């Protein structure tokens, strides 16, 4: 009886879930499994388990209500864009598990790879070309990473291209979650801590107006407590691959595929952002190269996964 009810419930869910919903539920399930595996070593294991269970239930409820034909516009919009607030929640969680799964930093290896390819440290080489205007522009562009996909999604939604919105969300969520899982392979803190004096960044790479505020905001998002004298102990191990590069390039490719009216805006700020990953000392060049590779792998793999889910009737195809 219980098995039959579960099968019926699963069949009903497959009539309302989208592929991105399964990605969210899959990532939360991975986190829950890690919580159980490292239960005795993980601080706050029970709250994390409850949080991820809540995210799964919320995803299901949103999908069910968004599928109703009589829903209000807010619910319809929420059903499309609910992943936006979920992504930072998933981002903040992954760093609870990285030290438990792989407690080693691989910066020495990444530095060696950069030197083997370029014969020098690229962040030190780019210091020769530093200028406050370049610093300000690249730091501002780096901050815009958080808005590229949102802006493109809103543009597509406003012109009624809902299928493109869902494709954007599918690919972006898949790419972001994939990058989080790849952090487990080679955790690293980045050249601003290993090759440079972190506390000299503002004096060596001065900006104009917003640079220092933007850096402080990014540091807070990277887990560095304000005023910490040992930031390298707290910063997230999220350098390899460069998620900024991966998702920015993915979005840029979709911008041109979708023929966005803002394509040249995206192009300029995407180029500046990818340059900023090294110029601003957040990443090694090999991180960026890995991010580019991961972008094209995601663009190739994700549609195949989506078609498999549709063929198996685990999700609905958005028209």
> pLDDT, tens digit, for every residue of 260-306?
999 999 999 999 999 999 999 999 999 999 999 999 999 999 999 99
Rounded (5°) CA angle 125-246-35:
115
On whether both 64 and 121 belong to a single domain, the answer is no
What is the pLDDT at residue 10? 64
Number of domain units in the chain: 2
On whether both 130 and 208 belong to a single domain, the answer is yes
> Residue 119, by phi and psi: left (phi above 0), alpha (psi -120 to 50) or beta?
left
Q: Could you say which of 37, 69, 101 is where a domain stops?
A: 101
What is the pLDDT at residue 67? 79
Model pTM?
0.93
User: Per the structure block, which two tokens stand in for 128?
Assistant: 């020769």
For residue 136, the surrounding DSSP H or E stretch is helix 132-143
What is the pLDDT at residue 262? 94
On whether both 87 and 183 belong to a single domain, the answer is no
Nearest by Cα to 191 from 113, 270, 272, 81: 113
For residue 319, being part of any structural domain is answered with: no
What is the pLDDT at residue 55? 96
What is the pLDDT at residue 13? 75
First to last CA, the chain: 35
What is the pLDDT at residue 14? 73
Q: How many helices (H) and strands (E) does the chain have?
A: 17, 0
For residue 13, being part of any structural domain is answered with: yes
On whether both 65 and 118 belong to a single domain, the answer is no
- The torsion angle over the Cα atoms of residues 215, 148, 222 and 218, rounded to 10 degrees, is 10
What is the pLDDT at residue 15? 78
pLDDT tens-place string over residues 146-155: 899 999 999 9
Nearest by Cα to 107 from 187, 170, 51: 187
On whether both 212 and 300 belong to a single domain, the answer is yes
| SS3 call for 85 | helix
Q: Could you say which of 82, 101, 120 is where a domain stops?
A: 101
On whether both 112 and 70 belong to a single domain, the answer is no
On whether both 26 and 167 belong to a single domain, the answer is no
> Residue 135, by phi and psi: left (phi above 0), alpha (psi -120 to 50) or beta?
alpha
Cα–Cα dist 292/131, whole Å:
27
On whether both 301 and 193 belong to a single domain, the answer is yes
On whether both 107 and 97 belong to a single domain, the answer is no
Cα–Cα dist 61/11, whole Å:
15
For residue 318, being part of any structural domain is answered with: no
Report whether 274 contacts 245 (CB < 8 A): yes
On whether both 174 and 194 belong to a single domain, the answer is yes
- Cα dihedral sign, 277-273-271-243: positive
What is the pLDDT at residue 119? 95
On whether both 283 and 171 belong to a single domain, the answer is yes
Cα–Cα dist 262/254, whole Å:
12
Domain that holds residue 138: 103-312
For residue 172, being part of any structural domain is answered with: yes
Nearest by Cα to 149 from 64, 246, 234: 246
Place of tokens 């929640």: 89
Report whether 168 contacts 152 (CB < 8 A): yes
User: Per the structure block, which two tokens stand in for 210?
Assistant: 């917003």
For residue 317, being part of any structural domain is answered with: no
Report whether 246 contacts 292 (CB < 8 A): yes
On whether both 161 and 227 belong to a single domain, the answer is yes
* pLDDT-flagged residues of the chain (< 70): 1-11, 69-70, 319
Q: Could you say which of 47, 74, 101 is where a domain stops?
A: 101
Nearest by Cα to 283 from 157, 153, 142: 142
């Amino acid at each position: 009886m219980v098995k039959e009810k579960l099968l019926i419930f699963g069949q009903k869910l497959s009539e309302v879930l989208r592929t991105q919903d399964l990605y969210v539920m899959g990532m939360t399930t991975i986190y829950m499994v890690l919580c159980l595996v490292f239960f005795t070593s993980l601080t706050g294991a029970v709250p994390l388990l409850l949080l991820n269970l809540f995210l799964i239930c919320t995803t299901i409820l949103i999908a069910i209500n968004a599928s109703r034909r009589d829903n209000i516009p807010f619910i319809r919009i929420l059903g499309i864009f609910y992943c936006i607030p979920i992504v930072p929640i998933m981002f903040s969680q992954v760093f609870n598990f990285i030290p438990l799964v792989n407690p080693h930093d691989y910066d020495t290896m990444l530095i060696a790879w950069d030197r083997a390819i370029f014969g020098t440290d690229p962040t030190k080489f780019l210091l020769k070309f530093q200028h406050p205007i370049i610093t300000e522009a690249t730091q501002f562009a780096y901050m815009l990473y958080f808005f590229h996909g949102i802006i493109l999604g809103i543009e597509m939604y406003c012109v009624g291209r809902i299928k493109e919105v869902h494709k954007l969300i599918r690919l972006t969520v898949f790419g972001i979650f994939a990058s989080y899982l790849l952090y487990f392979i080679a955790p690293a803190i980045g050249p601003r801590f290993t090759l440079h004096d972190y506390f000299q960044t503002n004096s060596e790479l001065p900006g104009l107006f917003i640079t220092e505020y933007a850096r402080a905001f990014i540091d807070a998002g990277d887990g560095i407590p304000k005023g910490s004298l040992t930031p390298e102990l707290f910063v997230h191990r999220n350098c390899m691959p460069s998620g900024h590069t991966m998702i920015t390039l993915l979005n840029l490719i979709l911008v041109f595929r979708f023929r966005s009216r803002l394509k040249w805006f995206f192009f300029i700020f995407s180029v500046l952002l990818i340059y900023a990953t090294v110029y601003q000392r957040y990443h090694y060049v090999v991180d960026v190269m890995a991010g580019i590779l991961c972008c094209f792998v995601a663009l190739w793999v994700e549609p195949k996964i989506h078609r498999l889910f549709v063929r198996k009737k685990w999700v609905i195809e958005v028209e």
